[in-house]
Amino acid sequence: MSENFDFEMLLDIKTPMRDGVNLSTDIYLPKADGPFPVILMRTPYSNNGDDIVKTAIGYANRGYACVMQDVRGRWDSDGDYYPFHQEAKDGYDTQEWLGEQAWCNGNIGMVGGSYLGAVQWLSAPLRSKYLKAMVPRVMCTDYYRGLVHPGGTFQLNVMMTWGMRTSGRTAQTIDYHNWTKAFHSLPLADLGGSTGRNMPFWQDWHEHENDDEYWDEVNTERRFSNIKVPALIMGGWYDLYAPDAFDNFNGMRKQGGSELARQSRLIMGPWPHRLSQSTKTGDIDFGAPSKIDLDSIERSWLDRWLGDEDNGIENEAPLRLFIMGTNEWRDEHEWPLERTDWQQWHLHSDGGANTAHGNGTLSLVKAGEEQPDTFSYDPEYPVQTIGGNNCCSPDIVPWGPYDQRPVESRSDVLCFTTDPMPSNFEVTGPIKLKMYASTDGLDTDWTAKLVDVSPDGYAKNLCDSIIRGRYRQGFEKQNMLEPGQVYEYDIDIGVTANVFKAGHRIRLEVSSSNFPRFDRNLNTGQRAGYDSEMRVASQMVFHSDKYPSHLMLPAVKRT
């Protein structure tokens, strides 16, 4: 489409919702004969911010009407703000209102990342006849597993920092908090006592600790079949929502409610939550090819589905993956890759896998009769989060790849490491751990992390996750542990695409905390979020004929 249009602005237009609440909408219209296709962005971060205005101007210059709306209860919009639960109806009502405007040609596309992606996923299943395409970046569709309670824990860093920023009508500063004190405050549900802020949704997040009807109300992952429009999904290997990007991709490709919806695509780069802003993420510079123009790709997507431009983008490969290690882009067609060689790498030790200097190993050989590994987990001194799939305050808790040797020096971190790779070894796909373990209490957590160890010892984290013992059988119901009983745990560690170069080693870290990314299990078996009592847990990890703990790696033969 042309990029030569001047534009006019219609600011703070009151858009009515079904319950009478008016939302503040800014509209940028090309100075040309309409009607126009419409780009819609709905945000809690102000529709008058520099970045969103620049995006609006760019689309208006190209002949699109661009609409930015403050969500309910934020900035200039009326009503009370409450994350996620109000966005489906408000988004649908906004789409219907836009479709009736004389300057709209009946075609609406939605764009934006994070919460601006959430509002797309939440409203799409309501199927406004005007919505024709989406470009949701870095967002989950299952808010229980993907955001608030991953693995049945509480995703403390994100929920506290982001929640506090959005707890008022306008942006709330968090720069002056003592974050060490705030993260350690107990009980967790009493946020006001540690930060001075009252956030009603914070209490609800703790009240609904199981995956119940509260979470089902906003779970789009269970409603992909109701979505009729194609989505161009964008994510990063070090983003908070890396696994969710593939869940959304597969959900749309396999369950989408129309042939068009099943043409959805995914682009996955070596980025944190802020996609393709730099070639460097954390410690690692992934090189010039890693930074691509996602806005240009977005425009081509919308030109095709809103402007009916025959640019052939629907004929491109549905998956575009950045392969770390060799730092190259590659087109793929399905996830997991059809040619994956699923390999079981078994945990071994003589009972001394504690620290990276212990005797824990990983190999393709099954374990025999081996001593279990033991460690003490003290929630008063949890294992520190160093990088990883974090959000959204890198100045408080950094995101991306960092050297993990500081945590690997702790006796409460078990390390299982392969021999050096004889040649380049690619691992691309979901990473899973089957582990047999016991504790001496009624509940505890288990963490797992995949690490690429360079010949010089630098230990680069690739992905990590956690499971709360009481949720080992599912998140709808809690099942406490029997002290001393060995249980089987299936831990979805995350997703990656990484070439372990010749001479590099693969390492698995196992522990019971990753703080403050996740809240601490206090090991008492009491109600999480409302407990302040702590106890030290005695942990055991088994690997033997009877308890064949192993890491499942998706090996991919390189051509």
Say whether 469 sits in a helix, a strand or coil: helix
Lowest mean pLDDT: which of 192-201, 210-219, 317-326, 412-421? 192-201
pLDDT beyond 90 at 196: no
- Widest CA span in the chain: 78
CA distance linking residue 192 with residue 486, whole number of Å: 39
In this prediction, residue 307 carries a pLDDT of 87
Q: Where are the alpha helices (DSSP H) in 339-482?
A: 405-408
Q: How far lies 456's CA from each of 27, 30, 422, 452, 463, in Å?
A: 55, 57, 16, 11, 21
Is 513 a known active-site residue? no
pLDDT beyond 70 at 263: yes
CA distance linking residue 309 with residue 322, whole number of Å: 28
pLDDT beyond 70 at 29: yes
pLDDT (average), residues 379-397: 95
CA distance linking residue 218 with residue 231, whole number of Å: 18
- Tell me which of 114, 167, 349, 393 is the catalytic residue: 114
CA distance linking residue 40 with residue 98, whole number of Å: 9
Task: Please name each of the domains of the chain with its CATH number.
Answer: 7-144+214-332 (3.40.50.1820), 155-208 (no CATH), 341-556 (2.60.120.260)
Q: 3-state SS of 387-410?
A: CECCCCCCCCCCCECCECHHHHCC
Is 114 a known active-site residue? yes
In this prediction, residue 1 carries a pLDDT of 62
In this prediction, residue 197 carries a pLDDT of 81
**372 close to 541: Cβ distance less than 8 angstroms:** yes
Say whether 497 sits in a helix, a strand or coil: strand
CA distance linking residue 413 with residue 510, whole number of Å: 6
Interstrand relation of 445-453 and 459-468 (parallel, antiparallel or unpaired): antiparallel
Average pLDDT of the residues of the chain: 96
In this prediction, residue 171 carries a pLDDT of 86
pLDDT beyond 70 at 512: yes
CA distance linking residue 324 with residue 105, whole number of Å: 43
Q: What residues contact residue 193 under an 8 Å CB cut-off, 6+ apart?
A: 185
pLDDT beyond 70 at 372: yes
**543 close to 436: Cβ distance less than 8 angstroms:** yes
E strands present in 283-371: 284-285, 319-323, 328-332, 341-348, 361-363
Taking only the tens place, the pLDDT of each residue in 62-118 is 999 999 999 999 999 999 999 999 999 999 999 999 999 999 999 999 999 999 999
* pLDDT band at residue 2 using 50, 70 and 90 as cut-offs: low
pTM, full prediction = 0.97
The residue type at 400? G
Residue found under tokens 């490969």: 317
Q: CA neighbours within 13 Å on the CB side: how many for 440?
A: 11
Q: Which helix (H) or strand (E) holds 51?
A: helix 50-61
Q: Tell the burial category of 490 from Cβ atoms under 10 Å away from its Cβ (0-12, 13-18, 19+).
A: exposed
Taking only the tens place, the pLDDT of each residue in 444-479 is 999 999 999 999 999 999 999 999 999 999 999 999
* pLDDT band at residue 172 using 50, 70 and 90 as cut-offs: confident
pLDDT beyond 90 at 538: yes
Q: How far lies 289's CA from each of 107, 222, 232, 384, in Å?
A: 34, 36, 20, 32
pLDDT beyond 70 at 488: yes
pLDDT (average), residues 44-52: 95
Residue found under tokens 């992952």: 221
Say whether 281 sits in a helix, a strand or coil: strand
pLDDT (average), residues 322-341: 98
Q: What residues contact residue 230 under an 8 Å CB cut-off, 6+ apart?
A: 133, 134, 252, 256, 260, 261, 263, 264, 265, 305, 314
- The neighbouring-strand residues paired with 136 are 112
Q: Where are the alpha helices (DSSP H) in 62-114?
A: 87-99
pLDDT beyond 80 at 265: yes
- Single out the residue of 408, 416, 411, 525 nearest to residue 470, CA to CA: 525
Interstrand relation of 131-137 and 65-70 (parallel, antiparallel or unpaired): unpaired
In this prediction, residue 558 carries a pLDDT of 80
pLDDT beyond 90 at 35: yes
Q: Give the whole-number percent of the chain exceeding pLDDT 90.
A: 92
- Tell me which of 149, 177, 206, 273 is the catalytic residue: 273
> What are the backbone dihedrals phi and psi of residue 101, each rounded to the nearest 5 degrees, phi first?
-80, 145
Is 273 a known active-site residue? yes
pLDDT (average), residues 485-512: 98
Interstrand relation of 505-511 and 445-453 (parallel, antiparallel or unpaired): antiparallel
- Tell me which of 70, 93, 239, 303 is the catalytic residue: 239
CA distance linking residue 531 with residue 517, whole number of Å: 19
